[in-house]
Amino acid sequence: MDKLQRSERIAILTKIFADSPGKLFSLGNFTEMFKAAKSTISEDIDIIQKALEGFGLGTIRSVPGVSGGVFFVPSIGKERVYEILNSLCSELSKKERILPGGYLYMQDIIYDPYVVFNVGRIFAQEFIERKIDYVVTVETKGIPLAFATANNLNTPLVIVRRNSEATDGPSVNINYVSGSSRKLQTMVLSLKALKRKSRLLFIDDFMKGGGTARGIIELAKEFECEVAGIGVLIATAEPAKKLVDSYFSLLTLNRVDEENSVIDIRNGLC
């Protein structure tokens, strides 16, 4: 490769960081890649860092020591977060989303790559300081949101099943009570899925009573792990008392009035 200009190196470095948030890169990797001195690469990274911070897109942090390096921490400014959440409220408030029984259709939202990408960044920004080892979700609808969050935190994703499968190997099964229906349900997780003493972040698409989140907490105890955070896209206003004490909800669903075709959903961060 011919020697690159600074503008070219900056463009490539920015792409590398953006594609791998949270991943630690040594300066040695970059000096070898670009055939440039460490001081030159450091100056390039300083320029990128100032630009990212100036536009509220994130920052680049450094880790000292022989095994250290630099990594990108994405972020979204408060105004942008509110813009995203208010747009979601507007879309989810459309009366045609009301399903029989007063349910809310939202499958197209949670499988929209643009929405998922932004929600994952918001969750990652909220929980990045909690030193998360794994992002955990329950099959199936929470998977896209949890995957995007795990990607932004550079952590593995673990999916808890409702039923065991032969490919899981030896598993831990627990029963828990749904917070909304009060029905007994089952969670299954392979013994190989988590390392002991890990810190977990539970991500889900919807919370009513908090039974699923409570079940995850109990399951984590079987692995000697700690649930260090809970993030949900939508939480219902009622019941106000959930089965978990602390959670981070982006949207609050106050009511779905099937008779009058009204959906009352609000920005949960206001």
Average pLDDT across the chain, whole number: 94
Long-range own/partner contacts, residues 28-36 (CB < 8 A, 24 or more apart) = 29/69, 34/3, 34/4, 34/9, 35/1, 35/3, 36/3, 36/9
Residue 180 has pLDDT above 70, yes or no: no
Taking the C-alpha atoms of residue 234 and residue 205, their distance in angstroms, rounded to an integer, is 6
CA distances from 49 to 12, 154, 178, 196 (A): 14, 19, 45, 35
Residue 165's pLDDT band (boundaries 50, 70, 90)? confident
Contacts of residue 158, Cβ cutoff 8 Å, sequence gap at least 6: 134, 135, 136, 137, 189, 193, 194, 200
Q: Does the structure show a pLDDT above 70 at 1?
A: no
The whole-model pTM stands at: 0.91
What is the domain partition of the chain in residue ranges? Answer: 6-74, 78-267
Mean per-residue pLDDT for 121-150?
95
Instruction: Identify the CATH class of 78-267.
Output: alpha beta
Which carries the bigger pLDDT value, residue 162 or residue 44?
A: 44
Question: Residues 225, 180: contact at Cβ < 8 Å?
Answer: no
Instruction: Note the pLDDT of residue 181.
Output: 66
Q: What tens digit of pLDDT does each residue of 21-59 get?
A: 999 999 999 999 999 999 999 999 999 999 999 998 999
Evaluate if residue 19 carries a pLDDT over 70: yes
Residues 229-252 pLDDT 10s: 999 999 999 999 999 999 999 999
pLDDT computed for residue 140 by the predictor: 85
Sequence-distant (6+) residues with CB within 8 A of 124 are 21, 74, 149, 152, 153
Span between the terminal Cα atoms of the chain, in Å: 51
Q: For 79-101, write each residue's pLDDT tens digit.
A: 999 999 999 999 999 999 999 99
- Which ranges constitute the DSSP H helices of 169-229? 211-222
Q: Which pLDDT band holds residue 177 (cuts at 50, 70, 90)?
A: confident
Q: List the CATH code of the domain at 6-74.
A: 1.10.10.10
If one compares 245 and 137, the residue with the highest pLDDT of the two is 137
